[in-house]
Structure 1
Amino acid sequence: MSEKRRGKLEIIADILRSIQSKNGRIKPTHLLYKSNLSHAKLKEYIDVLMKKGMIEEKQEKGKKIFLMKELGYKFLLEFERIKEFSDSFGL
């Protein structure tokens, strides 16, 4: 049985789902564990997501957290719709 590697969009969706699962805010270490990526790869994706306006970085009680923004929620909603559509055709 072969395992399929995640594509870029699946990784982005997994990162956003991880943030969403923590009420839209997550500490970097928790995100690192949940995303199952190396620190360097996670940083690349975080940079992209921040530039695209899907997440933002904030300081809360002196600690860094990532917050999901409206565009991140919209991306997840549309990604899930497309995934359901392609799954319904066995793709």
Structure 2
Amino acid sequence: MQEGPKRNSFASCYICGSQVSELRHRNCANLDCNLLFLCCMDCLKDLRGCCCLTCMTAPRIRPVLPGNQRYQKWHMYRELEVQSNLTA
């Protein structure tokens, strides 16, 4: 008797609980949270890389990384924020 494909209980979206097709961890886009978590592509797009709605409204948010990119060090984003404040 053959068994069907086994579902990995650890491979579920941190946000909605659905099965994650791509086992790639992400850091929360909120610099002050930086939680390492798995999420599905729908939640990644809906929450713009954040781990929850609270983090979406945080003042220090990194840009969403759609592919297999990695965030830069936090000081790179701070310097971009300072530059944008100087030009405003």
Please, what TM-score do these two structures have when normalized by structure 2? 0.30
| Bigger relative contact order (CA 8 A; separation at least 6) | 1
Greater helix content: 1
Instruction: State the structure with more CA Rg.
Output: 2
More strand as a share of residues: 1
